[in-house]
């Protein structure tokens, strides 16, 4: 078993944190064997999904190690699955290989058109920055096309969810498809201030809103809240998620009603209830498409797992190096 040692762990932690790219690390070695195919460590690093924007960065060394291990393992498993699928394609005598290669050529042309404006020179410059050749890039594109075609044939095309199954699932899980009472709210937020001017302004705004003046325009002109530019629109809101002072007003106001100024920790709020919908079971007609999507996704996962299990039984798969080996 090969271990990358301390330097490898440092690079993986940096990669997980988004500090360096996979092509900058250039760590290599065998990560796994799939039949006669070899997956290298650099293959895995390049396949690792970068952290999502806004996602909290791992703070401690243990968190960084766990995040790096999870990202590495997920990328390695995805590559193993892809190699198994390509191997199944190569062994499948029913596939029209000439047609597949024509499809690959067409897809490569589409990628060059979509991402590089049809400029192959721009593609070659991008590949040079990534330190991969045109042949390597095309081989990756070919693999992606083959994986997509095979998954469609072996999984997606076999998924059938009947209207009866959707209805039966809804009836058996109706308790899961419920919503609480919600109100469509607009709010104007005005700081109280030390001189009482805020309170006088809030009372004036509330009076004008109750008299029928456009609440959204009043919010844009007077609110200090972060939704002022949207006319104070909070959308559909569960009153239980609001501070009790605001929740009480939201529950008691009629549709179209405007509250008097409500003080909460140094700020005054004027609320308007634009609409209200009762809690309870979501009607089947509203939830039918969502349930069908959920059932399809569940069946896709089941068929895919069964398919991959069959492919693993028919091939030698050996993981050689992973992040757990230090």
Q: Which structural domains are found in the chain, ordered by start? A: 5-148 (1.10.4030), 180-280 (3.10.50.40)
In the prediction, which pLDDT does 25 show? 43
- Is the per-residue pLDDT at 322 higher than 80? no
pLDDT of residue 40: 87
Q: Provide the pLDDT for residue 252.
A: 92
Question: What was the pLDDT predicted at 50?
Answer: 61
Which DSSP letter does residue 119 get?
-
| Segment 199-216 mean pLDDT | 94
pLDDT at 193: 80
Average pLDDT estimate for 137-164: 92
Which residues have CB under 8 Å from 4's CB, separation 6+? Answer: 27, 29, 41, 321, 325
Q: What is the distance between the alpha carbons of residues 223 and 186, in angstroms, rounded to a whole number?
A: 11
Report phi then psi at 273, rounded to 5.
-95, 110
pLDDT tens figures, 43-61? 888 887 665 544 556 567 7
Residue at token pair 């390049």: 46
Q: Please write the tens of the pLDDT for every residue from 277-297.
A: 888 888 899 899 999 999 999
pLDDT digits (tens, 9 = 90+) for 84-115: 999 999 898 888 888 888 888 898 889 889 98
pLDDT in tens, 2-36: 334 434 444 555 455 444 444 444 456 888 999 88
Cα(247)–Cα(226) distance, integer angstroms: 19
Mean pLDDT computed over every residue of the chain: 84
User: Which residue has better confidence, 279 or 202?
Assistant: 202
Question: In degrees, to the nearest 5, what angle opens at C-alpha 66 toward C-alphas 63 and 21?
Answer: 95
With b for 16 or more beta-carbon neighbours within 10 A and e for fewer, the 214-242 pattern comes to ebbebbbebbebebbeebbbbeebebeeb
What gap in Å lies between CA 258 and CA 277, rounded to an integer?
Answer: 17
């Amino acid at each position: 078993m090969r271990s990358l040692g301390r330097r490898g762990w440092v690079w993986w932690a940096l990669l997980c944190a988004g500090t360096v790219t996979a092509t900058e690390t250039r760590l290599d070695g065998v990560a796994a064997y799939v039949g006669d195919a070899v997956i290298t460590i650099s293959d895995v690093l390049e396949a690792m999904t970068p952290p999502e924007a806004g996602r909290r960065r791992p703070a401690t060394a243990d968190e960084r190690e766990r995040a790096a291990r999870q990202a590495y393992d997920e990328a390695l498993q995805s590559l193993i699955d892809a190699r198994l699928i390509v191997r199944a394609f190569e062994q499948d005598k029913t596939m029209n290989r000439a047609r597949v290669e024509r499809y690959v050529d067409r897809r490569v042309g589409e990628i060059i058109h979509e991402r590089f404006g049809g400029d192959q020179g721009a593609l070659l410059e991008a590949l040079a920055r990534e330190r991969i050749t045109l042949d390597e890039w095309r081989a990756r594109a070919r693999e992606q096309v083959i994986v997509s075609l095979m998954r469609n044939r072996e999984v997606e095309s076999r998924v059938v969810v009947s209207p009866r199954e959707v209805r039966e699932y809804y009836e058996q899980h109706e308790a899961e498809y419920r919503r609480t009472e919600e109100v469509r709210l607009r709010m104007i937020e005005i700081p109280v201030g030390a001189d009482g001017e805020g309170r006088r302004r809030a009372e004036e705004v509330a009076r004008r809103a109750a008299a029928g003046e456009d609440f959204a325009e009043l919010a844009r002109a007077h609110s200090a809240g972060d939704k002022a530019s949207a006319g104070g629109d909070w959308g559909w809101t569960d009153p239980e998620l609001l501070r009790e002072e605001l929740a009480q007003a939201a529950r008691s106001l009629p549709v179209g009603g405007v509250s008097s100024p409500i003080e909460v920790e140094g700020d005054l709020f004027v609320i308007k209830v634009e609409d209200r919908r009762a809690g309870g079971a979501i009607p089947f007609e509203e939830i039918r498409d969502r349930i069908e999507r959920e059932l399809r996704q569940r069946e896709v996962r089941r068929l895919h797992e069964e398919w991959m299990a069959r492919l693993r039984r028919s091939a030698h798969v050996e993981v050689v190096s992973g992040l757990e080996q230090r």
